[in-house]
Amino acid sequence: MHTNLKELKPAELWQNFALLNAIPRASKKEEAVIQFMIDFGSKLNLPTTKDDIGNVIIKKPATPGMENKQTVCLQSHLDMVHQKNADTDFDFATQGIIMFVEDDWVKAKGTTLGADNGIGVASIMTLLAANDIPHPALEALFTIDEETGMTGALGLKGGLLDAGILLNLDTEDDDELTIGCAGGIDVTIGGNYKTEKVDPDAIGFRITVKGLTGGHSGMDIYKGRANANKLIARVLLSAAEKFEPRIKTIDGGGLRNAIPREAFAEIAIHAGEREDLTALINREAEVIKNEYQSTDPNLSISIETIVTPETVLDAVFQFNILRTIAACPNGIYRMSPAINGLVQTSNNLARVLIKDEEINILCLTRSSVNSEKMDLAKTICYNFELAGATPSFGGSYPGWAPKPEAPIVKLMSELYKEMFKAEAHVNAVHAGLECGILGTNYPDMQMISFGPNIRGAHSPDEKVQISSVQKYWPYLLETLKRIPEKH
């Protein structure tokens, strides 16, 4: 644990967060953190099980005097998004997250922090280990693979939980109580293409887009931040209006749920066009930087010479795929007509890799309206089919319909006002939470999501606010004290 973290309160919570962050826990590579959590529950002599898909459930009896209260399920996901800056030397498979304190924030050095959802996991760990915190009977549910498909929640069977109330600790604003969320679907574009030999008098260039803000492809999609994949296509198309650039490779973005921050393309052009192309790219860079100066102040677009590629994309395929990427819907598709300020439907063009005669393009389409989600996903597929690519769907999950009349919503809203002398924002979010999926097998369970302030999730700028954790923690404890009795 970093020295500065040892001084933070509540000490047990931060200590558990540090223990968790020492474990590599990328989505779909959670074997180590699953075993860590099994060992944690077993050492406490609490009933601990792993279900068929890898979710871990730890149960703890009520403290004396609270046996007649409703059982509460505390739920968070074990996996985290592994993202790092291009110039950061870090191996997520073997290294623990390097944390530090800066002012009122805990941050990581050049990587994601894992506060999403590690602070929730650490909170539950602290409650399970405590001997001096009053609470009803608890069922701790640690799900896997939330970030890349929610397969843990999707695979959780009915009958494993007895709780009547679920507290999901995966919200990133401490004044919000979330009671609904969007569903999503993965759109994957694959295929192959032919290549051609480069002209003998050609020279090679690399065009790089970097320094973008990025962020969560659901929670941050309304902020109008630049998408590196869209920008690289825009720059290449601008060059194609005056020259004949031939593309070797396009490589941009990474995970579906992260707004892409970097992209590059390797191209070949006629040697005599070197200076004019460089001037055009620099002019285009200034135009784009001006457009995004408020959302992406560190955006940069550069061009440099490289070894001339030997082969490039077939000319017809290059023409079609570049325009299809440029035409792919990205960002907000429709705002909710029913809930003011809520993004209803969006798409994130998350990953573009065109290399070695193979296409790999990843999108994440979200909507709180399932029919509109599918309509937009199909629209994206139709576009890429026209370019000769092969689209497919996967990882579909449902949204979570809000139930503002639920007793837990009333209880926590009134408690928030009592403790903090302000109204909580009861809302739905344009992001994937596991509550909607869990509700399919547990339809009678009341659900609500809350948590401390986390900023920059899914990016190396991720940070969690110390004072907000110190606000959220007593709110969670007081909520557990006030859980009503069983009917």
End-to-end CA distance of the chain: 44
The amino acid present at 461, given as its one-letter code, is D
Q: Give how far the C-alpha of residue 319 lies from the chain's centroid of Cα atoms, to the nearest Å.
A: 32
Spatial distance between the Cα atoms of 38 and 239, rounded to a whole number of angstroms: 56
Sheet holding 138-143, edge to edge: 48-50, 56-60, 138-143, 72-77, 165-168, 446-449, 176-181, 425-429
Which residues have a Cβ under 8 Å from the Cβ of 120 and sit 6 or more positions away?
A: 75, 76, 77, 168, 169, 170, 451
Catalytic residue flag (residue 146): yes
Catalytic residue among 79, 186, 262, 434: 79
Cis upstream peptide for 117 (omega within 30°):
yes
Strands 454-455 and 99-102: unpaired
Catalytic residue flag (residue 162): no
Catalytic residue among 145, 146, 220, 462: 146
Which residues have a Cβ under 8 Å from the Cβ of 199 and sit 6 or more positions away?
A: 268, 270
Which residues are known to be catalytic?
79, 146
